Amino acid sequence: MPELPEVETTRRGVAPWLEGVTPPEVRIHNPSLRWPIPADLPDQLTGTPITAVGRRAKYLLLRNARGTALVHLGMSGSLRLSPPEEPRRPHDHVEIPLAERILRFNDPRRFGAWLWSTDPEQHPLLAKLGPEPLGPDFDGDHLYRLSRGRRASVKAFIMDAAIVVGVGNIYASEALFMAGIHPQRPAGRVGRARYRRLAEAIREVLAKAIELGGTTLRDFTDSQGNPGYFRQSLAVYGREGEPCHHCGQPLRHRVIGQRGTVFCVRCQR
């Protein structure tokens, strides 16, 4: 599933092509996504300039004077800027013609979403989300405060979108390794100083992944069809049995919260 760096990479790729542009039309080829695309969404997006392309958690926000389109890439979705002459591919469910490109939403599994809201911050999908990990409201004290009394693993804790958004399986594993925290340690048994290190690790891992264009997993590509390259920098994720970069100990794999987790028993406590 595309995680926050992949979504932010996509946002940065499409924003220059959309902001200030008035879509002449929106073509819906298949409205049956995770939730049905609202019948009036094309009318809401056409004829009015897109003022901003934002992001909240893993949702892209296409804003205009009428409201906001909430776009989620789902498990396998992508937004791609195609030349006008390029034929529509299978699973291109939404198209927005632009001056020199066509913005196409492709989603083979149809688990993505295109929704409409006049008050996105209060939309049920966004209203109860935690702070952005790269924003000013997130730090180690925030994690420490909310973790008190929690028996769940620290990995499950930081992957809870009500605690902080956008820390998926890959980046949770990488941040915990960087902070030297065992992923199975109960969240309530991690001290304030270690949470401060963990918050900084989360910021560093996500910022680096965004800089490198996301992680190449399965079929993720950016808006130009280019793969991300953060995978080349992964310290633990997907490296079960390989030596730890710090101590040389073979990395171990364990299922935590139904997600595969790779970690170092010597470096993470």
Q: Which one from 11, 58, 155, 194 is the annotated catalytic residue? A: 58
Residue 36, exposed/middle/buried by CB under 10 A (0-12, 13-18, 19+)? exposed
150 assigned ligand-binding residue: yes
Active-site residue, from 3, 6, 95, 174 = 3
Q: Is 16 a catalytic residue?
A: no
- Return the closest-CA partner of residue 110 out of 145, 75, 144, 142: 75
Exactly one of 2, 42, 120, 183 is catalytic; which is it? 2
| CB neighbour list of residue 77: distance below 8 Å, 6 or more residues apart | 2, 105, 106, 107, 109, 111, 112
Q: Is 242 a catalytic residue?
A: no
Indicate if 259 belongs to the active site: yes
Q: Is 194 annotated as a binding residue?
A: no
Q: Give the list of residues 6+ apart from residue 141 with CB closer than 8 angstroms, or none.
A: 192, 195, 196
Residue 52 has, within 13 A of its CA and on its CB side, a CA count of 7
Q: 34 among the known binding-site residues?
A: no
Instruction: Indicate if 183 belongs to the active site.
Output: no
Judging by beta carbons within 10 Å of its beta carbon (0-12, 13-18, 19+), is residue 177 exposed, middle or buried? buried
Q: Of 12, 34, 231, 259, which is the active-site residue?
A: 259
So which residues are the catalytic ones?
2-3, 58, 259
What are the binding residues for DNA? 91, 109, 150
